[in-house]
Structure 1
Amino acid sequence: MVSGPSRVTAVIVAYNRRDLLTEVLDALAHQTRAVDAIVVVNNASTDDTSQVVRESGLDITLIELTSNTGGAGGFAVGMAAAMVRDNPDWIWVMDDDTVPDKHALLGLMNTVTAYPGSSLAAVGSRVVWTDGDEHPMNTPRENPFASSQEKSDADAVGAMPVRSLSFVSSMYRAERVRAVGYPLVDYFLWNDDFEFSTRVLRGHRGLSTPASIVVHKTARRGSTDDDPGERFRFEVRNKIWLFRHSRGLRPAEKLVYGASSLLRWGRTALKSTDRRVLREGFTRGKREAGERPPRPNTEVLRDVGVPRDVLAELGRAE
């Protein structure tokens, strides 16, 4: 029997993947531990995403934005909407190409309930690709700063202590979200989940558990050091923003993760078939990061169709 927090709200950010969104919603409808509420943020899709949501037969809070705010904006809006509309204990986030196994939420909640240490702030799922193998893009890394007690407590529930989590499928304690705020919308995409989850987990514990499985239905089984082309701009800009401005990492952690980023950028360059594009992305990202820090969420989201109560919650958290 599973006890613990009584309300879990699932938040999905959707953009022009109506068929995959249909799968995600169907999977949420058939969880063995039911979700208590669902929020879908339509990030200005040009397909019939909103119609799919309305015809799903599920009780869903649908928020339709008038501009694409990226994953960062979608999750910030969706999590704030969950907070003001549903008053959850936990917020479970996922992309619209992330299909949870029917026991995914049960696995997350069992891990929360069984964990022997102090209360968890966040817990993430095991992410596989369509072939059932680990998805290298979302493979979690053990927290290099975890104490022996943290490791022992994680081992007791068959999980791994982590310092960050992916938005592909992770669940956050609502009281921690209230304390630290929401994802930074100006990140648009890349590293928004890293920045947010490190903020949530600073001074608190997080786990990745194989008891919860989701399928990340990307077009191919890519990894974090694959050549992203022009999107490398976001990787560079957002990492610089993170190391300069985020409260998520301590100074020593910034050194460790900064060195790791440089090594990964090097691997990306070695694998690239067009290094000119990477150089241009690096130059642009570095320039943009130096021009200003990320803007307040309410400034970025003021005119994109965010409901008034949700915008007020985002403002409260700034």
Structure 2
Amino acid sequence: MAVVVSHDRRDLLARTLDGLAAQDRPCDAVVVVDNASSDGSADLADAHPLAPEVVRLPRNTGGAGGFAAGTARAVRSHRADLVWLMDDDTVPTPSALAELLRARSRYAGRPALLASRAVWHDGRDHPMNTPRRRFGLARPFTGRAAAVGGVPIRSASFVSTLVDARAVREEGLPEAAYFIWNDDFEFTARLLRRRTGLFVPTSVVEHLTRTFGSTDADPGERFFYEVRNKLWMLRTSRALGPLDLALYGAATLRRWGRTVLRSADRPLLLRAGRRGFVAGLTSRPEPTTTALAGLGAVSDDVRAIQEAVHRD
């Protein structure tokens, strides 16, 4: 089933739902998690012919909280075997889901997740959503992926990722405390530390961001979340092994350097980064059950999944 996280992008959400309704292989069900939108997004979803379940959150939990809530809803309440995650600015082409399922069914194994190719509205590959390839695999493993038109990956974004519910039950939900940024990196890298993930280029979605570029393109105040969450991940997550920590730590420093150099307002960016650095080193993300407490049935779904993981 599909899970769409939405916040104040009514027109884009309509296009996402239209894309889901036009799938060659229809979704078994759709959940829209509305993050306390003020523009009628939830009402639009309620009235859409696709008839999704609309989960109306009373407060904005960010993309991280929305995906944690939606995944919990899908896995526990709907007992979904596969969860197709996407933002409300993602428009899947008609064959997007069918291509993911085709690669999954033909792969000689059980991938924990499969990711689509994300393009901008002009057809260019979107740099914000390039999955990180998994290197160092023996030829038989890369050959299995190539046989189904796939590429082994180490992580992916939440712009069209098909996740096996069994991996969620074993590893838990996205870290809701991240709010925005790096939550998809942490979650997918955690699932794929000892599991298989595939990038499927024949599965195509449009990612309709306002501008073309990656998240290091002058984020302003939001740089706080990039720095805090990346440090949280490097310090506290079980997603990365020792070699990963060294590689991604070095890549992070290079990325932050590029971000500062490209910024049109470096003092603002540096202040946000400094706050993020302090928060990332002196605190830890609160548990997802705590971050998503007080949300009624959604909180029950979240708690049930997280407690089962901890018991195991």
TM range, smaller chain: over 0.9
**Per the alignment, in what secondary structure is the counterpart of residue 307 of structure 1?**
helix
Cα distance in structure 2, aligned partners of 1:68 and 1:126: 28
The verdict on how the C-alpha distance between 1:304 and 1:261 changes in structure 2, with shifts beyond 3 A counting, is same
Cα distance in structure 1, aligned partners of 2:46 and 2:136: 45
1:314 Cα deviation after fit = 4.4
Cα distance in structure 1, aligned partners of 2:304 and 2:140: 36
Alignment of 1:23 onto 2:15? yes
Partner of 2:151: 160
**Per the alignment, in what secondary structure is the counterpart of residue 133 of structure 1?**
coil
Amino acid at match of 2:74: A
Partner of 1:3: none
**Per the alignment, in what secondary structure is the counterpart of residue 104 of structure 2?**
helix
The verdict on how the C-alpha distance between 1:310 and 1:140 changes in structure 2, with shifts beyond 3 A counting, is same
Aligned length: 309
Let me know the Cα RMSD of the aligned residues. Answer: 1.4
Partner of 1:225: 216
Alignment of 1:102 onto 2:99? no
Alignment of 1:88 onto 2:80? yes
Counterpart contact for 1:29–1:58, Cα < 8 Å: yes
Counterpart contact for 1:50–1:62, Cα < 8 Å: yes
Counterpart contact for 2:120–2:206, Cα < 8 Å: yes
Counterpart contact for 2:72–2:298, Cα < 8 Å: no
Cα distance in structure 2, aligned partners of 1:237 and 1:64: 28
Partner of 2:70: 78
Gapped runs of 5+ residues in structure 1?
1-8
Alignment of 1:47 onto 2:39? yes
Identity of aligned residues (%): 46
Cα distance in structure 2, aligned partners of 1:236 and 1:38: 33
- What TM-score comes out, normalization by structure 2 length? 0.95
Deviations 1:194-251 (CA, angstroms, capped at 9, x unpaired): 0000111111110111110000000011123311111111111001100111011101
Alignment of 1:33 onto 2:33? no
Cα distance in structure 2, aligned partners of 1:50 and 1:224: 27
Partner of 2:237: 246
Partner of 1:5: none
Counterpart contact for 1:94–1:167, Cα < 8 Å: yes
- What TM-score comes out, normalization by structure 1 length? 0.94
1:306 Cα deviation after fit = 5.2
1:304 Cα deviation after fit = 4.2
Amino acid at match of 2:102: N
Deviations 1:65-103 (CA, angstroms, capped at 9, x unpaired): 111111000000000000122111110000000000000
Counterpart contact for 1:14–1:40, Cα < 8 Å: yes
Amino acid at match of 2:229: N
Counterpart contact for 1:72–1:184, Cα < 8 Å: yes
**Per the alignment, in what secondary structure is the counterpart of residue 131 of structure 1?**
coil
Deviations 1:24-73 (CA, angstroms, capped at 9, x unpaired): 11111111111101111000101101111111122322111111111000
Cα distance in structure 2, aligned partners of 1:315 and 1:200: 14
Partner of 1:206: 197
